Amino acid sequence: MIHFQNVGKTFTTPTGPLQAVSSVSLKVEERDIYGLIGFSGAGKSTLLRMINLLERPDEGSVLVNGEDLTQLSLRELRKRRLSIGMIFQHFNLLNNLNVYDNVSFPLEIAKVPTEQRKQRIEECLEMVGLLDKAKTYPAKLSGGQKQRVAIARALANKPKILLCDEPTSSVDPQTTGSILASLKEINEKLGITIVIVTHEMNVVKAICNKVAVMEHGRVVEKFNLRESNIAPKSPIAQYLFKNEISLETREAAYA
């Protein structure tokens, strides 16, 4: 479904070139919930953003359903992006619009007629358990509710893939549970493939069937979490599996 072939990305920075992603090859199969884990700066978000070309790889290619998105015209790319939803750490809701209108927004961009829009918005809000909040503005919602609105909005155009960039990093552990439950449900019920960037092995263990561990722009190890004998070899993977804690606070302990 998603196939990274030897991808690389170097950013130009004031202090010189910075290789954020180096020679990554990885396959995400349909219906996977695939975790990308590693310390801050490992290149996880850059890799994730290559799937919908928010970042263009400058080496290798990324195939989505066998198609290299870099070869498409801008018009075709916009169309393909409708089948790839995305959610972010800080929710990125439009604060001047209520919940209903936030979910409506991508449908308006896709020029979905008003009547169909209404039905789809209600379906999506129902899916994340927030139909009763349709008229509420984001400022009145909790972090978990905001992220579930973002999930509903990402689902509006019936994507096949959902990209999640640290979706639980701004919320407390209990709220994390409700967001992860929504993600698991849409994966199981709608068959949506999910790729999730996280710092936390707890998140990976809760919902992912596979995980890739990243360090310094490279994937150092991959695991199928359905296998019974998981034996990490790299120091970082050993650390991550041993310490089910947030890396943000414990990076120093590993270093």
Ligand X SMILES: Nc1ncnc2c1ncn2[C@@H]1O[C@H](COP(=O)(O)OP(=O)(O)OP(=O)(O)O)[C@@H](O)[C@H]1O
Using CB under 6 A, which of the segments 40-48, 91-99, 155-163, 179-187 binds ligand X? 40-48
Q: Which residues contact 34 (CB under 8 A, 6 or more apart)?
A: 28, 193, 194, 195, 196, 208, 209, 210, 211, 212
Q: How far apart are CA 138 and CA 101, in angstroms?
A: 11
If binding is defined by CB under 6 A, does position 40 make contact with ligand X?
A: yes
Q: How many residues comprise the chain?
A: 255
58: number of CA atoms within 13 Å, CB side? 10
The binder of ligand X chosen from 7, 32, 45, 99 (CB under 6 A): 45
Q: Which residues contact 199 (CB under 8 A, 6 or more apart)?
A: 37, 38, 39, 40, 166, 169, 246, 247, 248
If binding is defined by CB under 6 A, does position 168 make contact with ligand X?
A: no
Q: Which is nearer to ligand X, 18 or 230 (CB)?
A: 18
The binder of ligand X chosen from 8, 28, 37, 38 (CB under 6 A): 38
| Amino acid symbol at 17 | P
Q: Beta 210-215 vs 218-224: how paired, if at all?
A: antiparallel
Least distance between ligand X and beta carbon 39 (Å): 7
Q: Which is nearer to ligand X, 35 or 106 (CB)?
A: 35
Instruction: Determine the size of the site formed for ligand X (CB under 6 A).
Output: 13
Q: Which is nearer to ligand X, 38 or 106 (CB)?
A: 38
Q: How far apart are CA 204 and CA 199, in angstroms?
A: 9
Q: Which is nearer to ligand X, 84 or 247 (CB)?
A: 247
Using CB under 6 A, which of the segments 36-44, 64-72, 124-132, 138-146 binds ligand X? 36-44
Least distance between ligand X and beta carbon 198 (Å): 9
If binding is defined by CB under 6 A, does position 41 make contact with ligand X?
A: yes
Q: Which is nearer to ligand X, 24 or 124 (CB)?
A: 24
If binding is defined by CB under 6 A, does position 163 make contact with ligand X?
A: no
Q: How far apart are CA 89 and CA 147, in angstroms?
A: 8
Q: How far apart are CA 39 and CA 248, in angstroms?
A: 7
Q: Which residues bind ligand X (CB under 6 A)?
A: 11, 13, 18, 20, 38, 40-46, 197
